[in-house]
Amino acid sequence: MKHIKLAVITALFAMTAGLRSCDLEEYNPSGATSEVVFSTPEGINALANSIYYNYRWKYYGREDPVLYMEGGTDLWNNFNLTSYGNQLTQYVNLDWDRGQLRTLWERQYDVINLCNTGINRIVSVEYQNPDEKRFREGEFRFIRAYSYWWLVEFFGDVVMRTEETNTPELYAYRTPAATIYDEVIIPDLKAACELLAIEPIDGMTGRVTKKAAYGALARIALTRAAYGDEAKHYEMALEAANYIINNKSALGVDLYDNYADIFDPANNKNNKEALYVVTYSTVSAYNPDSNPNRLFRYFNPAYMDLCGMTQDVKYGNSPNKNGSSTMSMMPTRHLLTLFSEGDLRYDASFLEEYPLNRSSWTWDEENVGIFRKPASFIGNVTINAGETALLYTRKVYTQAEKDAAPYAIVDLDMTYAPETGAIRSDDNQWARFFPRLTKYDDFSRSSATAPSSNDVIVIRLGEIYLVAAEATAMLGRSGAASYINDLRQRAIRQGYESRMRVDDSDITIDFILDERARELCGEHIRWFDLKRTGKLLEYVNRYNPNITAIRDYHILRPIPQQFLQSILNAAEFGQNEGYTGPGSE
């Protein structure tokens, strides 16, 4: 299939006022006005292409969203407890001057203004094919809803605009989050469900389709329940989820028989479980820059130059062996121990063993010191190509077992304190070594540090079964366990069938959150899950004790400094509780 080409017309962004720019007419290379450009199908179609741009340039596949969507939760902390991005991953001095949050705010309002333009103008544009016109409107409505969902969940009551912005607006006013859900987000997604077709228009991979709209509605209606009218929105989430589950064949989507197949790189470009993907291309010119998807490097332990290992494509970019500050997330003890022995999702999601990827290597004094091996190993114990060199494991070994193994073993209790689950911060620096998330592997890259052209799955069918289970349980109905059992079927180790099955009595919100961690860890959803269930502080305090700066007000992020300083009623608009800025206490 063809991918969306994102050579976005400069004039589109010149006309995107968002909530930040006062230089709306400083440059228009073509001389064309918006009235001319957006009065034709070609102009509207170019506009539709542009609304996907920021999700590839600044969001999925990049560093910042990993920090603010997976970081700061119960599941992840910084590689070696470094300070990299710790305002977002550990809430240390998180305040209104964070560049990542400014970018999130500005880029999302850019997208929303493009969508507003498309929705407002497409009504008067004549298309020869009415289905194409419907599809384009569906795209605008889906992306606007999804962008507002991010803004509301991260920042709370924000500015709601549904009209195209063409002039500077120096005053801004908050709209309650529930109102934005009820007047924009939910109606837009419902409309998108009706407007979008099953197949992407023009066969272009990466466009949202009907399955994406229903998937987003299921996810976001579940979130809306946190703001009141719970039964109504649980019912809405369940109906959307069941629509997908009951119409899998028609929608062209299904669960893989084996959980590992979801993340097999061979299935990436045509993934049958994916509902919504952000695409990257093997053709560099089609990507936002020369270094597109970098997720393969953000969950890695140190392995290069340890026990003879060299950096290669299979294991990805290796952080510094000495543990200096770098962007990499390590799993918490809580995450690693959530998986039972009968759950194949652990094996499919994490790598523990590193076979030697050179001809041979003999233990030396440096590595004996790092891994606390017997001194007798120096110059005497050799590892050959293909034999285990490093084992970073969630299992626990005796000291005698570790001493006897010809390879390095870093077990669960070396990296994490068994009493508290805390990541150890002593001089041994064991927090450099941990099981590696493999969901973003791309073995087609030219080198260990080369960028990936893999697509990023944003919503997939596995999540929809979890939405259905949660909504069913929250409505007090029977049958929640059947969704879990159906989902788990493809992840059961032989002989563990009965132990992996659950009953309705097992389905509590804590069980659901644990199951979502097992199924979806690392997939850009954990922070949203903990926030919407009211469990963010509880789970971080209980399961990620190295995060000590989190406070009640961190359920929202600060309104960015740049925005507040650009409006004339900043004090009236106000800062979110706990942060620096006008109206803060």
pLDDT digits 0-9 by tens, 318-354: 999 999 888 999 999 999 999 999 999 999 999 999 9
**Contact of 109 with 19, CB cutoff 8 Å:** yes
Alpha helices, H only, 123-229? 130-155, 177-180, 186-195, 210-224
Write down the pLDDT at residue 205: 83
Measure the CA–CA gap between 479 and 343, rounded to whole angstroms.
22
Give whole-number Cα distances, 372 to 304, 430, 479, 494, in Å.
18, 11, 51, 36
Measure the CA–CA gap between 73 and 375, rounded to whole angstroms.
40
* Cα within 13 Å of Cα(306), Cβ side: 27
pLDDT in tens, 375-426: 999 999 999 999 999 999 999 999 999 999 999 999 999 999 999 999 999 8
Give Rg (Cα) of the chain.
25
What are the tokens at 421?
């689950």
Positive or negative torsion for Cα 349, 519, 512, 224: positive
Which residues fall within 8 angstroms of residue 49, CB to CB, at 6 or more apart?
4, 5, 6, 8
Write down the pLDDT at residue 290: 66
pLDDT in tens, 205-226: 889 999 999 999 999 999 999 9
**Contact of 306 with 245, CB cutoff 8 Å:** no
Write down the pLDDT at residue 362: 98
Write down the pLDDT at residue 26: 34
DSSP character string of 469-523: HHHHHHTT-S-HHHHHHHHHGGGBPTT-HHHH---GGG--HHHHHHHHHHHHTTS
Write down the pLDDT at residue 451: 86
Write down the pLDDT at residue 557: 98
In degrees and rounded to multiples of 5, residue 174 shows phi and psi of: -80, 145
**Contact of 536 with 554, CB cutoff 8 Å:** yes
What pTM value is reported for the model? Answer: 0.93
Q: Which amino acid is located at 483 in the chain?
A: Y
Measure the CA–CA gap between 205 and 435, rounded to whole angstroms.
33
When the pLDDT of each residue in the chain is averaged and rounded to a whole number, the result is 92
Write down the pLDDT at residue 58: 84
Give every residue of the chain whose pLDDT is below 70, as ranges: 1-34, 36, 290-291, 583-585
How far is C-alpha 127 from the geometric centre of its chain's CA atoms? 36
CA dihedral 370, 374, 376, 378 (to 10 degrees): -10
Strand 388-392, strand 408-410: pairing: parallel
